Amino acid sequence: MAHKTFISYKYSEARNLRNSIIDALGDDAIYYQGETSISPDLSDTSTENIKRNLTDMMYDTSVTIVIIKKKKKNSNWIDWEIEYSLKNITRKGRTSHTNGVVGVIMKFNGGYSWLKTTSTNGDGCTSSSYDESKVYSIINNNRFNQNPKKYSCDICKTVNALTGSYIAYVEEETFLSDPQKYIDNAYDKSENDAAGYDLTKTR
């Protein structure tokens, strides 16, 4: 089942990946509610006008795709968009549900080592860690927040990459190969107001 989606990204640095995601959605791209290459340029308008346009696009969506890029956290909007996605917003007597959120890691210099380190534990399990300094706090605070935790390995206490965190990370190439899989995963976690996760909904 397709879900209405919004992509949160820095236009000047990630618009090509945004376009690739929209292309990968195929027929389901009709459910995409965010900016496209033909959207009007709002960069010179007021903050309130930008917020109004963003909320109009985001309010009726159920999954937010966040592009995580190498450059420093230099967007004024991405963490605000994530916060809006996680909150229950009431408009015209109707209250939105918490969006599912998935983080798509953008490739840099042919790989993902700028953010991700993979290691093998003593028991043979492979686990990944991520440089939190390169990611917004609202994302970090919604990582490894499954409650109760369900361990993939009871010895080394690793969790499933997709279900162990409310905001799961997926590498760019992996996401583009099967976007519906990861959109569905994010949506499923948002059901029943994200029951099973301790959410942090503010920046």
Exposed/middle/buried for residue 26 (C-beta within 10 Å: 0-12, 13-18, 19+): exposed
Q: Which long-range contacts (CB under 8 A, 24 or more apart) does 16-25 make?
A: 17/67, 17/104, 17/106, 17/172, 18/67, 20/176, 21/65, 21/67, 21/104, 21/175, 21/176, 21/179, 24/175, 24/176, 24/177, 24/179, 25/179, 25/180
> Which residues on adjacent β-strands are paired with residue 101?
64
Residue 62 has pLDDT above 80, yes or no: yes
Q: What is the pTM of this model?
A: 0.91
Answer yes or no: is pLDDT of 42 > 70: no
| Cα–Cα distances in angstroms (integers) from residue 26 to residues 31, 37, 119, 179, in the given order | 10, 16, 35, 10
pLDDT in tens, 129-183: 999 999 999 999 999 999 999 998 888 888 999 999 999 999 999 999 999 999 9
- Cross-strand bridge partners of residue 126: 120
Please check the confidence at residue 116 and state whether its pLDDT lies above 60.
yes
Fold of 5-194: Rossmann fold (3.40.50)
Segment among 5-19, 48-62, 108-122 with least mean pLDDT = 48-62
Query: What per-residue confidence (pLDDT) applies to 147?
Result: 96
* Residue 42 DSSP label: -
Residue 54 has pLDDT above 90, yes or no: no
User: What is the DSSP secondary structure assignment for residue 103, as one 8-state letter?
Assistant: E
CA–CA separation, 140 and 130 (whole Å): 10
Quote helix, strand, coil % in the chain, to nearest 5.
35, 20, 45
Task: Please give the mean pLDDT across all residues of the chain.
Answer: 89
Highest-confidence segment of 22-31, 69-78, 168-177, 190-199: 168-177
Distance CA 153, CA 149 (A): 11
**pLDDT tens profile 76-95:** 789 999 999 999 888 777 88
